[in-house]
Structure 1
Amino acid sequence: MCTNRLKSAFVALSCVCASLFFGSWDSDSQSVIGPIPPSPHYDDPSQWFIVNRQGEADLFYIISTETGDHMIGSDTCHFADTYNAGQRGQMRIEMHAVDSFYSGKLNYYSPYYRQVTMQSWSSPETALARLPLAMSDCVRSWDYYIKHLNQGRPFILAGFSQGAHAMLEIMKRMPDDVADRMVAAYFIGYRITKEDTACCRHLRPACKANDTKVSICFNSVKTPECEIPVVSAGNLFCINPINWRTDTVGASFVYYDKEHQNDTLSARLDPKSKLLLIGGYKNDEPMPVIGIPGNYHHMELRFYYPYIRQNMADRVEAFFNNRTK
């Protein structure tokens, strides 16, 4: 029953993404930024998706791009409105799905934020110019979480795509006493570059299944030529989320999907490109807007969730074991 509920959640997530991709497109030439929605206040419970399981550790998760352009008056807005119930509903689908798939016994915290809309990514330069507003919300939500919600517990920091970019901004500002409580950081479907490591001392690559205070990073493709530069170019960190190795030893895994009858696929790390090469997946149709045939960016949350959920639990256990030594 649980597995069916999780599958349904991700089916709904896919439908929302498709409606955004293929919905009406505003092509007029306006300023890069445009109108800005109200700033979220993180002392307002409506600006959070929270599941308190009375656990000993937390999962703080930042969602990917789930909203599209919308109108404020007669102008097109390129940022999510976190006080708009419809747009919160679109973001909530991913929040709920990730909690269901990944949290296990962890307490779960996910903030709504004025994310850059999907249409913005048709020009990566435009999207990156808009990102500072979205990132400032994520940093503020993190600060509120640490001061008012975390209560000194160990935590996992995780994000997907745009959400993983926000993790970098959070970790660059993270003081040492807070970083000491970080079990691990999961950069799902995003990159960690030389420039990132130069300005963030807390970025250390994961090397095995149970090291702690490390960063887990992977980007899935059929071949290196299928890379999407905006999410993976220049990446330094990569670990195989099936066997938790950083060499070329591959591993088979089951993709739990009703349509594909739980296909068995394979994952192997390419040391030159720092990409995860996936074998056996037959659907190479690209995701809209930024997609490339054979790039599986849109599958990162779905391919590996049983393995990552167990790995999160294993790393939390290792963190507590290390603290008692």
Structure 2
Amino acid sequence: MMRKIIAGILVLLVAWTSCQSHKNGVASIPEEPDYQDSTQWYMTDRKADADIFYITSTETGDYALPNGATAHYADTYSDSLRAPLYGEMVGVDTLVSGRLNFISPYYRQCSLQSFENDSLKAARLPLPLEDVRRAFQYYLKHLNGGRPFILAGYSQGAYIMLELLKEMDDVTYKRMIAAYAIGITIRESHPHIVPAKGADDTGVTICYNSVRDTSCAMRGWEKSNVAINPVNWHTDSTVATLITEPSPLQPVTDQKKDTMNVSLDLSTGLLIVKGFKAQDYVLPLIGKQGNYHSREIWLYREQLRENMTLRTSQWLKRYFQQPS
């Protein structure tokens, strides 16, 4: 109990310090996104029967403003700060959407520096969460048109996605095909967080976190109670073979494919990847050698695309099956 009290006090102190810093010109919060404004969305309408609602990963670092203040959140009206978000949206849409509609909001995501410790993360995540919460409600009311949807988030986006999933009313939850929490771990339980058991169950949560071995997990992501192998869609330790180009940073025609063995470590829920030979990009500040956080979508892009199509097909058959 005392530890919880101390942790709560620390969070309040960080929040108070952030507020005071803002008053003193040290920090600045960008303008709130207006989700009636089409520029605050990336959308690809393929006239499909289902959507992917995607929440981007952390593409923002702390940056200085002209007045000398330090900003810890993305400015969704700044072309230079929107550019990396747009790049991820286009990339993920291209890699996994297939024939599904793809919808992703710009939001004031917090900077990578915000994840250096738990207190900063706790103090800063509520702002991006509130942005995406508003965006999701706008999407449901004005953009979704009653279609079933896939909820997907990567890294910071996955944290936010889990909160949307927990807050979702039961009527909306029934329209959710599946939730993909990519590149994080999940310790909590909730009636709407139903671990996927195979390739085609619906209303479930898919989660995986790729590492060379368990010692390569980033701090706070050492164990997950929700985990599945995205190569063979097993929840046991069965090894799957993955043959693919290792890097999204080079043309695939310039790369040799790696042959990797991918399996779940049942004691931690981490996804163990053996045979990744490329010199990997290590996430600044919080990353570790042998942690494949930056490759979580790229490595499994074909499997994710096929799986989203399969789960969508199963959902449509379940709820819209025509009488014979």
TM-score by length of 2: 0.86
SS of the counterpart of 2:307? helix
Tell me whether 1:273 sits opposite 2:268 in the alignment: yes
CA–CA distance in structure 2, aligned partners of residues 59 and 285 of structure 1: 27
Output the amino acid matched with 1:53. R
Q: Match for residue 224 of structure 2?
A: 235
Tell me whether 1:152 sits opposite 2:142 in the alignment: no
1:1-325 to structure 2, matched below 5 A, reads: 31-32=17-18, 34-72=27-65, 73-194=67-188, 197=189, 200-230=190-220, 232-257=221-246, 258=252, 260-282=255-277, 283=279, 286-324=282-320
Per-residue CA deviation, residues 248-271 of structure 1 (Å, 9 max, x unaligned), is: 101001223435412111100011
User: More deviation in 302-311 or 121-130?
Assistant: 121-130
Moved over 4 A (4+): none
Partners of 1:102 and 1:309 within 8 A in 2: yes
Q: Is the radius of gyration larger for structure 1 or structure 2?
A: 2
CA–CA distance in structure 1, aligned partners of residues 198 and 86 of structure 2: 32
Per-residue CA deviation, residues 273-322 of structure 1 (Å, 9 max, x unaligned), is: 00000010123663221111111111101110001100000000011111
Per-residue CA deviation, residues 144-179 of structure 1 (Å, 9 max, x unaligned), is: 000110010000000100000010111121011100
Give how far 1:225 is off: 1.0
CA–CA distance in structure 1, aligned partners of residues 165 and 282 of structure 2: 31
Q: Percent identity?
A: 43
SS of the counterpart of 1:210? coil
Partners of 1:91 and 1:112 within 8 A in 2: yes
TM-score by length of 1: 0.86
Output the amino acid matched with 2:238. V
SS of the counterpart of 1:32? helix
CA–CA distance in structure 1, aligned partners of residues 290 and 159 of structure 2: 23
Partners of 1:55 and 1:106 within 8 A in 2: yes
CA–CA distance in structure 2, aligned partners of residues 269 and 159 of structure 1: 21
Give how far 1:236 is off: 0.5
Q: Structure 1, unaligned stretches of length 5 or more?
A: 1-29
Per-residue CA deviation, residues 32-62 of structure 1 (Å, 9 max, x unaligned), is: 3632110001010010000111000000000
CA–CA distance in structure 1, aligned partners of residues 282 and 46 of structure 2: 38
SS of the counterpart of 1:301? coil
Output the amino acid matched with 1:289. L
Q: Structure 2, unaligned stretches of length 5 or more?
A: 1-15, 20-26, 247-251
Partners of 2:223 and 2:270 within 8 A in 1: no
Partners of 1:285 and 1:294 within 8 A in 2: no
CA–CA distance in structure 1, aligned partners of residues 63 and 148 of structure 2: 38
Partners of 2:214 and 2:222 within 8 A in 1: no
CA–CA distance in structure 2, aligned partners of residues 58 and 111 of structure 1: 13
Q: Match for residue 26 of structure 1?
A: none
CA–CA distance in structure 2, aligned partners of residues 182 and 126 of structure 1: 31
Output the amino acid matched with 2:113. Q
Output the amino acid matched with 1:241. P
Output the amino acid matched with 2:219. P
SS of the counterpart of 2:93? helix
Residue 285 to residue 103, structure 1, CA distance change in 2 (3 Å): closer
Partners of 1:32 and 1:126 within 8 A in 2: no
Partners of 1:60 and 1:108 within 8 A in 2: yes
Q: Match for residue 5 of structure 2?
A: none
Partners of 2:222 and 2:270 within 8 A in 1: no
